[in-house]
Amino acid sequence: MLSPEERKEIEAELAHYPRKAAVSIDAMRIVQKHRGWVSDENIRDIAEFLDVSPDELDGVATFYNLIYRKPVGRHVILVCNSVSCWILGYERLRQRLSQHLGIQLGDTTADGRFTLLPIVCLGACDHAPVLMVDGDLHRDLAPESVERILENYR
């Protein structure tokens, strides 16, 4: 069931659009902000609230890769694997991250501190390779900078 806060925030978004379905992503982001991720039950509740089908909403969630459909760690690391980053050192960066964290892409550390996910272009191709942690963009990365960056996220 959606919380009163979630309903209120979604309703505030609805005021800006003629169709309820138009706030699908915003509604899922609101729920994710409160709960950390969006479960199947959340999808059903949001779908009911927006008068769309759960399958339709799930399709949007699948397409939009910043909606987490399973639990994530306290901090989410998104590592760009698109062309510029790929050419300029993505693989070495990913290997360093996996080695340092002891996990592979898609996994969460045992202490629940970090989840490591791939992502398509983060729009900073001229500063490749890049990664993002909790919305903070880190650019022009050498693999050796991974430890220093992650120290800032407890």
Binding residues for ligand FES, rule: CB under 6 A, are: 80, 82-85, 121-125, 128, 130
Which is it for strands 131-133 and 136-138: parallel, antiparallel or unpaired?
antiparallel
Closest separation in Å from C-beta 24 to ligand FES: 26
Name which of 30 and 116 has its Cβ closer to ligand FES: 116
Closest separation in Å from C-beta 86 to ligand FES: 7
Please give the torsion angle defined by the CA atoms of residues 44, 119, 116 and 2, in that order, rounded to the nearest 10 degrees: -20
Name which of 3 and 95 has its Cβ closer to ligand FES: 95
Name which of 66 and 121 has its Cβ closer to ligand FES: 121
Q: How many other C-beta atoms lie within 10 A of the C-beta of residue 132?
A: 19
Closest separation in Å from C-beta 122 to ligand FES: 4
Name which of 54 and 118 has its Cβ closer to ligand FES: 118
Give 3-70 as a DSSP string. -HHHHHHHHHHHTT-SSGGGGHHHHHHHHHHHHSS--HHHHHHHHHHHTS-HHHHHHHHHHSTTS-SS
Closest separation in Å from C-beta 98 to ligand FES: 18
